[in-house]
């Protein structure tokens, strides 16, 4: 029997290294078909899973309680497995260079317990060449085994979209690749167990790595264009949303919206591609230009708020400003690489300490990463300005009366920044409101 058949028969196990927003749903999906060990070095997170709690909210507590995944923080358990999937974050450093520490650390840990006949598949987003040029040597060094002889490697880029209940692991086509045809065949078969929409066999590992990194780079560039249009149209006194709605009637107009670009994919992946390009002597023009625009949006929004305060004869220093929403996207608890923090920090520069409310966010994570303690909605009153930064489902139903209750009634105008345009601007007209959106 080959490895795929041994997995199906229960003779061998699959391991998932990294149990975050990407790894945990994959582990749960596989556990419906084969034996799975879910490993994460974060013992506290593992303990939550063991208690049947899903801190990511990706599959829900019930699915965690019912799954047969063997959750563990003991790397020794990896020795029991033959097919390994590595799904750890690949962030960037402060200077926007790739931070490969998590994927290198996972490779070192896995390498210590790697056995002959294993296949290791990486899902982490990287620039072309990382799997074979960086991860493989680490696996060989730690295991004492030889890649291509004692174990094989593949790459299958993750496409899980946190908070998205439509585009799931079982509804999207999965790119797979392997170091040779035999490995590709095994990887494709194993992923076919959970990727019910099908798998696409990339020509080689570097092609698969490149495909992933350009998927998010393409979105980043398109959003940057929308953000630039928003800045232009705001100067013209034209509503960007209205312009996009009109332009969207053309059959081939691409549907993108302006906004903050955070998270651990779209705002990160382009830097991996441009880093590798610079190593080869090519300096990106379009990709980095888009990155600069998107990275500066928090500052632009904060400055727009301050200008509105000044125009409304409201003292900037010490102004009471509320920020509703802190996560990097709506209906998701993840605050990593959120660009709302840029709005917050920029307002601090003007002597404003915003009141931040987010019913969806992981409050402990936000305090640990940013030193911010969330307020409750009851604290949002007598405000000089309100910024609705994230379109959480809790915020969408707010009525005109509800929003009016947030403001200082003594101000002659209410400064209301509805960044995502989730409310009808006709309900917030001058002189009672100074309404602004991207």
> What confidence tens digit (pLDDT) does each residue in 389-428 have?
999 999 999 999 999 999 988 888 999 999 999 999 899 9
CATH architecture designation of domain 3-210: 3-Layer(aba) Sandwich (3.40)
**pLDDT band with cut points at 50, 70 and 90 for residue 92:** confident
pLDDT at 358: 94
* pLDDT on residue 155: 97
- As given in the structure block, the two tokens for residue 171 are 């509804």
Q: What angle do CA 20, 26, 32 make, to 5 degrees?
A: 135
CA 35 to chain CA centroid, Å, is 28
Domain boundaries, the chain: 3-210, 296-436
Instruction: For 34-60, write each residue's pLDDT tens digit.
Output: 999 999 999 999 999 999 988 887 888
Put simply, whether the predicted model's pTM sits higher than 0.75 gets the answer yes
The residues carrying an active-site annotation are 265
Task: Quickly count: other Cβ atoms within 10 Å of residue 138's Cβ.
Answer: 18
The answer on pLDDT for 168 being more than 90 is no
CA distance linking residue 380 with residue 378, whole number of Å: 5
DSSP track, 71-94: EES-GGGGGGEEEEEE-----B-T
pLDDT of residue 15: 96
CATH of domain 296-436: 3.40.50.720
Confidence label for 204 from pLDDT (cuts 50, 70 and 90): very high
Nearest to 267, CA basis, from 19, 15, 92? 92
> What pLDDT score was predicted for residue 57?
78
Q: Which among 196, 197, 205 has a CA at the least distance from the CA of 30?
A: 196
The two domains 3-210 and 296-436 share their CATH topology (first three levels equal): yes
Select the highest-mean-pLDDT range: 210-214, 297-301, 426-430: 297-301
């Amino acid at each position: 029997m080959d490895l795929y058949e041994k997995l199906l028969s229960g003779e061998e196990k699959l391991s998932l290294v990294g149990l975050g927003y990407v790894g945990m749903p994959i582990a749960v999906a596989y556990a419906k078909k084969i034996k799975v060990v879910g490993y994460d070095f974060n013992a506290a997170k593992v303990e939550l899973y063991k208690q049947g709690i899903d801190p990511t909210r990706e599959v829900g507590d019930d699915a965690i309680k019912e799954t047969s995944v063997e959750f563990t923080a003991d790397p020794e358990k990896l020795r029991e497995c033959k097919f390994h999937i590595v799904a750890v974050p690949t962030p960037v450093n402060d200077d926007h260079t790739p931070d490969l520490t998590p994927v290198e650390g996972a490779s070192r840990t896995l390498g210590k317990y790697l056995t002959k006949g294993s296949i290791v598949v990486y899902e982490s987003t990287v620039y072309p060449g990382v799997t074979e040029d960086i991860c493989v040597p680490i696996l060989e060094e730690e295991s004492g085994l030889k890649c291509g002889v004692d174990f094989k490697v593949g790459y299958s880029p993750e496409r899980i979209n946190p908070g998205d209940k439509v585009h799931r692991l079982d509804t999207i086509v999965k790119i797979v690749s392997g170091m040779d045809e035999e490995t590709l065949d095994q990887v494709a078969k194993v992923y076919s167990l959970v990727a019910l929409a099908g798998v696409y066999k990339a020509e080689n590992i570097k092609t698969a790595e490149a495909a992933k990194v350009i998927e998010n780079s393409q979105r980043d560039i398109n959003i940057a264009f929308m953000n630039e249009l928003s800045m232009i149209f705001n100067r013209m006194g034209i509503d960007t949303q209205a312009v996009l709605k009109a332009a969207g009637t053309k059959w081939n107009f691409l549907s993108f919206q302006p906004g903050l670009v955070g998270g651990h994919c779209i705002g990160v992946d382009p830097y991996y591609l441009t880093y590798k390009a610079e190593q080869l002597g090519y300096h990106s023009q379009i990709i980095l230009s888009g990155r600069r625009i998107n990275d500066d949006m928090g500052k632009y929004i904060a400055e727009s708020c301050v200008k509105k305060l000044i125009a409304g004869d409201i003292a900037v220093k010490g102004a009471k400003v509320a920020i509703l929403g802190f996560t990097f996207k709506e209906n998701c608890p993840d605050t990593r690489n959120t660009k709302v923090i840029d709005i917050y920090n920029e307002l601090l520069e003007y002597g404003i300490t915003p009141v931040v409310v987010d019913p969806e966010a992981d409050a402990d994570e936000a305090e640990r990463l940013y030193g911010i303690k969330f307020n409750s909605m009851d604290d949002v009153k007598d405000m000089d300005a309100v910024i609705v930064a994230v379109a959480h489902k809790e915020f969408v139903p707010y009525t005109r009366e509800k929003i009016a209750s947030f403001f200082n009634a003594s101000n002659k105008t209410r400064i209301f920044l509805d960044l995502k345009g989730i409310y009808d601007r006709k309900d917030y007209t001058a002189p009672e409101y100074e309404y602004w959106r991207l």
